[in-house]
Amino acid sequence: MPFQERRRNIKGRPFWSKRQLWTYSGFGIEARSSADHRSVEGQLRRARKPASIRGLNENHNHDLKNLFKSAAILALNKPGPFREFYEALLTKGMRPEMARLTLARKIAAITLHVWKKGASFDAQYLKPQTA
């Protein structure tokens, strides 16, 4: 992606959802691989097995990913609502590296909300969503 288009994307509010921002920032989950298809009678067919998680996407904006990861690390080292959120994830049994990823994704989602709505930060944004 050319630099001008990347810059326009950031300044032009291209992200409709937090998942788009996560993918652009390198926090999107990659669930596709070449093993998802197999050859049957010379034709490619989708395998019937469910997609498995392959990790985070590799095609991303490295600066943005470093920014959110650094913000997460700084936030969990200081007392406050982000640290409480992180510690709550650890008490639920989440591995520390996954809890840091979740915190970085949460910070990215809050940043998007504040950016799009022009709202101020509120610790209520850290409450877990119920599915």
- The predicted pLDDT at position 126 comes to 72
Most confident range (mean pLDDT) of 22-26, 99-103, 112-116 is 99-103
Q: Which residue has the tokens 């049994």?
A: 93
Q: Is residue 108 a part of any domain in this protein?
A: yes
Q: Is residue 38 a part of any domain in this protein?
A: no
Residues near 106 by beta carbon (within 8 Å), at least 6 away in sequence:
82, 85, 125, 126
Instruction: Give the residue among 57, 51, 74, 70 at the shortest CA–CA distance from 21.
Output: 57
pLDDT, tens digit, 9 for 90 and up, residues 17-58: 777 877 788 777 766 666 666 778 888 777 776 655 556 667
Collapsed DSSP state (helix, strand, coil) of residue 34? helix
Least confident range of 55-59, 74-78, 109-113: 55-59
Instruction: Flag whether pLDDT at 95 surpasses 70.
Output: yes
H or E element: which one contains 31? none
Q: Is residue 35 a part of any domain in this protein?
A: no
Q: Is residue 31 a part of any domain in this protein?
A: no
- The predicted pLDDT at position 93 comes to 94
Give 3's pLDDT tier (boundaries 50, 70, 90): very low
Q: Is residue 131 a part of any domain in this protein?
A: yes
Q: Which residue range is the domain that position 5 belongs to?
A: 1-26+60-131
CB atoms within 10 A of CB 98: 11
Number of domains in the chain: 1
Instruction: Flag whether pLDDT at 15 surpasses 70.
Output: no
Q: Is residue 17 a part of any domain in this protein?
A: yes
Q: Is residue 14 a part of any domain in this protein?
A: yes
Least confident range of 31-45, 89-103, 114-128: 31-45
Q: Residue 104 in contact with residue 72, Cβ under 8 Å?
A: yes
Q: Is residue 129 a part of any domain in this protein?
A: yes
